[in-house]
Amino acid sequence: DTAVSQTPKYLVTQMGNDKSIKCEQNLGHDTMYWYKQDSKKFLKIMFSYNNKELIINETVPNRFSPKSPDKAHLNLHINSLELGDSAVYFCASSQGWNEQFFGPGTRLTVL
């Protein structure tokens, strides 16, 4: 009974492709997030949804589009992948302003 799960765990793809990463939480939280961790381990928030409404949208290329079909799911779709998109992407969830619970991450490698 994983709290925050992500699929896939690893994703290797060619430049120019379109790919999606899925996230699900079974904690009943109302807020979900996407973070990007680069090769130097630096973590930066990308998006956040609260009750399916986008509330944080950082300076991210519009090739990245989050979608939240319901409170328990937040997916990340990336168009026209570039080498610089290679990173580990983490999903997280919280109930309001409480502690954020992180998923195991998806390692994206763009060749």
In the bound state with another protein, the residue whose beta carbon lies nearer, of 8 and 16, is: 8
3-state secondary structure 20-44: EEEEEECCCCCEEEEEEECCCCCEE
Tell me the closest approach of the beta carbon of residue 104 to another protein, in angstroms.
5
Could you tell me the smallest distance in angstroms from the CB atom of residue 99 to another protein?
A: 5
CA torsion, points 41, 42, 43, 44, in degrees to nearest 10?
-150
Q: Which is nearer to another protein, 14 or 41 (CB)?
A: 41
Least CB distance from residue 16 to another protein, whole Å? Answer: 28
- Least CB distance to another protein at residue 11 (A): 15
Whether the link from the prior residue into 8 is cis, omega within 30° of 0, is yes
Residue 97 CA to residue 62 CA, distance in Å, equals 27
Q: Which is nearer to another protein, 58 or 82 (CB)?
A: 58
Q: Answer yes or no: are the C-beta atoms of 74 and 49 closer than 8 Å.
A: yes
Binding site for another protein (CB under 8 A): 4, 31, 40-45, 48, 50, 55-56, 90, 92, 94, 96-97, 99-105
